[in-house]
Amino acid sequence: MPSYTAPLRDMRFVYHELFDAGDITALPGCEDATADLVDPVLDEAARLAENELFPLNHSGDREGCRYQDGAVTTPAGFKAAYEQYAQGGWIGLACDPQYGGQGMPATLNVLLEEMACSANVSFATYIGLTRGAYRAIRAFASEALKDRYLPKMVSGEWSGTMCLTEPQCGTDLGLIRARAEPAENDGYRISGTKIFITAGEHDLTTNIIHLVLARLPGAPAGIKGISLFLVPKFLPTEDGEAGERNAVTCAGIEDKMGIKASATCVINLDGAMGWLVGEPHKGMRAMFTMMNEARLGVGIQGLGLGVSAYQAAVDYARERQQGRALGGTQYPEQPADPIMVHPDIRRMLLTMRAFTEGARALTTWVARQIDVRDHSEDPQARKEADDLVQLLTPLVKSYLSEVGHDAAQMAVQVYGGHGYIRDNGVEQYARDARIAMIYEGANGIQALDLVGRKLPAHTGRYLRRFFHPVQAWIDANTADQALQPFVLPLAKAFGRLQLATGQVAQAGLKDPNEAGAASSEYLKLFALVALAFLWARMAKIALAKREGDDSGFYDAKLMTARFFVERVLPQSGSLFATIMAGGNTMMSFPDEAF
């Protein structure tokens, strides 16, 4: 069976050394997030993930959720673990103290999220949905709704969901049919059927707060006629406790490929009481707040699973003995060498390591920007941070979900035939990782978001927040001889990204199909360059600190960085060639010839 140990050393490196956490405490509201508070929090979160969540991962997958008469039972141990998690204040760790949160920075929270996802991604979905709903309510709901619902959600007593999808409408939310009719108490009666609702019904909390997209009477057709409503499973009583049952019910759960312990529900609304969140017909705006949070969360699921898969593969590659090293026997005392000696196994292990460590740096960078966006007093700094978050969100969601998937597949490969056996645990990672590439906007949609919205926004202003710092960093470090092995490949890949960006923008202006055809490869190229930038910065730190470091941490960091720039980053060349080839061969292929 795989094991999981939270990569605390690397997390501290990213948190304190790469993104200089000292700066975080300078942000209003984040003053308390000093090292002497952050480090014990990380330790405790690691303990919880390793000892409470991880042991439930395999059993949860085996057992799955059960549905009976409208009720959903989570696998054994989930409720107890959830209570521990909630009572420890983990759910509201990065939430506003006004509603009972701890006000910790997002930069810290993403590391905790990663641990939870590594340990038990099904479990993490229940927490993640509450966070998304919290954000949308806090940003758009009335003060009364906020006061009534947020404290219970922050404490984890109540959980949240987002109800978007309907049988006829997935990616295209303009097709939504759920209706909302004005009703008593400034409320609305909401009717319709929602499907694929993660955490839509379960036994972990005393109440479930659904955020539901629906149409008001006379709403404009399509996407501009959708409003967002808060629909609780139980209507709160005067004193704020879960009271009368609302007309929102679970009609069943899906039998899925993975994340089996996460309840994926069909939710029926039969004139359920709800309240408007935000303005009428402006539901998409509020929804995107929730969605962006959720998209980052899905990227972190990929990262988390990638880390678990990597650890499992390393353990197995160390133990499993097969054949002899190509260059001569390494462990003569054993009947065979551990498979770790073989180049192709090492290729997979280092690929997983380079991706996951790079991905951790990326999520932490984005979280760091979220902290600036949410806390800084300087409007310009807030705007710049928001621009970068907007730009990088599709990258995190799409690229990291692929990192997780690829790593899980590699872990299965390292395990060989044993990887295919359920009792050995790694095939669960492969199944659990698959959904992240699909939900919260399939990866193809993320790529379209990048080229269709994020690139042209304000004539490329979001891009500036990435391209200028990278160019400046390259300029500042080209003269550094020791850094040449990192700066030069970065500069080369960056140049390709610049050319590809110009090409995609220009070709896309003339023909949107051209932008669409290039979008997936373009997103990958962009993500690779982002990782290369972070790897180069990490290498610079490692170079400066390796002298006198006996732990080997910085040496390993440096070697992984070299592996990345030498063996992974060259993908930028093939991606670039594909992008520049244009979409004509795809788009001119006759439909009937398929």
Partner 1 sequence: MQAIDKVAVIGAGVMGAGIAAQVANTGLPVVLLDIVPDGAKDRNVVASSALQKMLKTSPAPLMHPRNAKHIQVGNVEDHLQWLSDCDLVIEVVIEQLEIKQGLYRKIEQHRKPGSIVTSNTSTIPLAHLVEGLPKSFQRDFAITHFFNPPRYMRLLELVAGADTRPEAIAALRTFGDRLLGKSVVDCKDTPGFIANRIGILWLGAAVRFAFEIGLTVEEADAVIGKPMGIPKTGVFGLLDLVGIDLQPHVEQSMLATLPEGDLYREIHRPSTYIERMIEEGYIGRKGKGGFYRLNRSKGGKVKEARDLETGEYRPAVAPSLASVRAGRQGMRALVEHPDRGGRYAWRVLSHTLSYAAALVPQIADDVHAVDQAMKNGYAWKRGPFEMIDQLGPKWFAQQLAKDGLAVPPLLEQVGDGSFYRLEDDRLQYFGTDSAYHDVQRADGVLLLSDIKRGAERVAGNRSASLWDIGDEVLCLEFHSKMNSIDEGIVAMISKAIKIVPSKGYKALVIHNEGDNFSVGANIGLGLFAANIAAWLQITESVKQGQYAYKALKFAPFPVVGAPAGMALGGGCEVLLHCDALQAHAETYMGLVEVGVGLVPAWGGCKEMLLRWSNNPRHPKGPMPAVSKVFETVATATVAKSAEEAKSLLYLRPGDGITMNRDRLLAEAKAMALAMAKDYAPPEPRELQLPGSAGETAMTLVLNDFRRAGKATDHDVTVGKILAHVLAGGNTDPTAAVSEDKLLTLERNAIVSLLKTPQTLDRIEHMLETGKPLRN
Q: Which of 27, 463, 515, 529 binds partner 1 (CB under 8 A)?
A: 463
Q: Which of 179, 418, 431, 461 binds partner 1 (CB under 8 A)?
A: 461
**What's the min distance (Å) between Cβ of 505 and partner 1?**
6
Q: Which is nearer to partner 1, 501 or 560 (CB)?
A: 501
Residues 6+ apart with CB under 8 A from 477: 483, 487, 536, 540
Q: Which is nearer to partner 1, 370 or 463 (CB)?
A: 463
Please check whether residue 176 is in contact with residue 166, taking contact to mean a CB–CB distance below 8 angstroms.
Answer: yes
Residues 6+ apart with CB under 8 A from 490: 470, 474, 529, 532, 533, 536, 565, 569
How far apart, in whole angstroms, are the C-alpha atoms of residue 266 and residue 495?
48
- Residue 188: beta bridge partners? 182, 274
Count CA within 13 A, CB hemisphere, residue 513: 7
The answer to whether residue 280 forms part of the interface with partner 1 (CB under 8 A) is no
Q: Which of 103, 271, 460, 570 binds partner 1 (CB under 8 A)?
A: 460
Q: Which is nearer to partner 1, 122 or 390 (CB)?
A: 390
The answer to whether residue 288 forms part of the interface with partner 1 (CB under 8 A) is no
**What's the min distance (Å) between Cβ of 385 and partner 1?**
14
Q: Which is nearer to partner 1, 347 or 468 (CB)?
A: 468
Q: Which is nearer to partner 1, 112 or 219 (CB)?
A: 219
Q: Which is nearer to partner 1, 467 or 553 (CB)?
A: 467
| 32-40, 239-247, 498-506, 553-561 -> range binding partner 1 (CB under 8 A) | 498-506
Secondary structure of 8-32 in HEC code, one letter for each residue: HHHHHHHHHHHCCHHHHHHCCCCCC
Residues 214-273 that bind partner 1 (CB under 8 A): 220, 224
Q: Which of 440, 521, 566, 592 is catalytic?
A: 440
Q: Which of 502, 512, 552, 573 binds partner 1 (CB under 8 A)?
A: 502
Known catalytic residue at 440: yes
Alpha carbon 114 to its chain centroid, in Å, reads 9
In the numeric block, which tokens belong to residue 556? 């390993």
**What's the min distance (Å) between Cβ of 460 and partner 1?**
4
Please check whether residue 24 is in contact with residue 107, taking contact to mean a CB–CB distance below 8 angstroms.
Answer: yes
The answer to whether residue 498 forms part of the interface with partner 1 (CB under 8 A) is yes
In the numeric block, which tokens belong to residue 222? 């399509």
Could you list the beta-strand ranges (E) of 430-550. Answer: none
In the numeric block, which tokens belong to residue 482? 């020791």
In the numeric block, which tokens belong to residue 234? 């139980």
**What's the min distance (Å) between Cβ of 265 and partner 1?**
35
Residues 163-222 that bind partner 1 (CB under 8 A): 220
The phi, psi pair for 495, rounded to 5°, reads -60, -40
Number of residues in contact with partner 1 under rule CB under 8 A? 16
Please check whether residue 282 is in contact with residue 227, taking contact to mean a CB–CB distance below 8 angstroms.
Answer: yes
| 299-307, 425-433, 463-471, 521-529 -> range binding partner 1 (CB under 8 A) | 463-471
Q: Which of 16, 282, 346, 464 binds partner 1 (CB under 8 A)?
A: 464
The answer to whether residue 453 forms part of the interface with partner 1 (CB under 8 A) is no
Residue with tokens 């340990």: 119
How far apart, in whole angstroms, are the C-alpha atoms of residue 184 and residue 196?
30
**What's the min distance (Å) between Cβ of 280 and partner 1?**
13
The answer to whether residue 330 forms part of the interface with partner 1 (CB under 8 A) is no
Q: Where are the alpha helices (DSSP H) in 31-77?
A: 35-48, 55-63
| 135-143, 313-321, 467-475, 553-561 -> range binding partner 1 (CB under 8 A) | 467-475
How far apart, in whole angstroms, are the C-alpha atoms of residue 98 and residue 316?
47
Task: Write b or e for each residue in 381-393: b if 16 or more Cβ atoms lie within 10 A of its Cβ, otherwise e.
Answer: ebebbbbbbbbbb
Q: Which of 74, 311, 401, 501 binds partner 1 (CB under 8 A)?
A: 501
Q: Where are the alpha helices (DSSP H) in 378-483?
A: 379-415, 426-434, 443-448, 461-477
Q: Which of 467, 478, 545, 582 binds partner 1 (CB under 8 A)?
A: 467
In the numeric block, which tokens belong to residue 307? 């880390």
**What's the min distance (Å) between Cβ of 510 and partner 1?**
9
How far apart, in whole angstroms, are the C-alpha atoms of residue 359 and residue 365?
10
**CA distances (Å), 375 to each of 31, 329, 488, in order?**
11, 57, 36
Helix (H, G, I), strand (E, B) or coil at 118: helix
Q: Which of 184, 458, 588, 590 binds partner 1 (CB under 8 A)?
A: 458
How far apart, in whole angstroms, are the C-alpha atoms of residue 194 and residue 212?
9
How far apart, in whole angstroms, are the C-alpha atoms of residue 9 and residue 498?
34
The answer to whether residue 459 forms part of the interface with partner 1 (CB under 8 A) is yes
How far apart, in whole angstroms, are the C-alpha atoms of residue 392 and residue 409?
25
Residue with tokens 């060259």: 570
Fill in the per-residue mask, 468 to 497: x = in contact with partner 1 (CB under 8 A), - = not in contact: x-xx--------------------------
The answer to whether residue 505 forms part of the interface with partner 1 (CB under 8 A) is yes
How far apart, in whole angstroms, are the C-alpha atoms of residue 156 and residue 85?
8
Q: Which is nearer to partner 1, 226 or 317 (CB)?
A: 226
**What's the min distance (Å) between Cβ of 272 and partner 1?**
29
Q: Which is nearer to partner 1, 8 or 580 (CB)?
A: 580
Fill in the per-residue mask, 522 to 551: x = in contact with partner 1 (CB under 8 A), - = not in contact: ------------------------------
Alpha carbon 334 to its chain centroid, in Å, reads 42
Q: Which is nearer to partner 1, 236 or 460 (CB)?
A: 460
- Residue 253: beta bridge partners? 265
Q: Which is nearer to partner 1, 273 or 463 (CB)?
A: 463
Please check whether residue 303 is in contact with residue 355, taking contact to mean a CB–CB distance below 8 angstroms.
Answer: no
**What's the min distance (Å) between Cβ of 321 and partner 1?**
51
Q: Which is nearer to partner 1, 224 or 422 (CB)?
A: 224
**What's the min distance (Å) between Cβ of 470 and partner 1?**
8
**What's the min distance (Å) between Cβ of 98 and partner 1?**
27
Fill in the per-residue mask, 557 to 576: x = in contact with partner 1 (CB under 8 A), - = not in contact: --------------------
Q: Which residues bind partner 1 (CB under 8 A)?
A: 220, 224, 458-461, 463-464, 467-468, 470-471, 498, 501-502, 505
- Tell me which residues are annotated as active site: 440
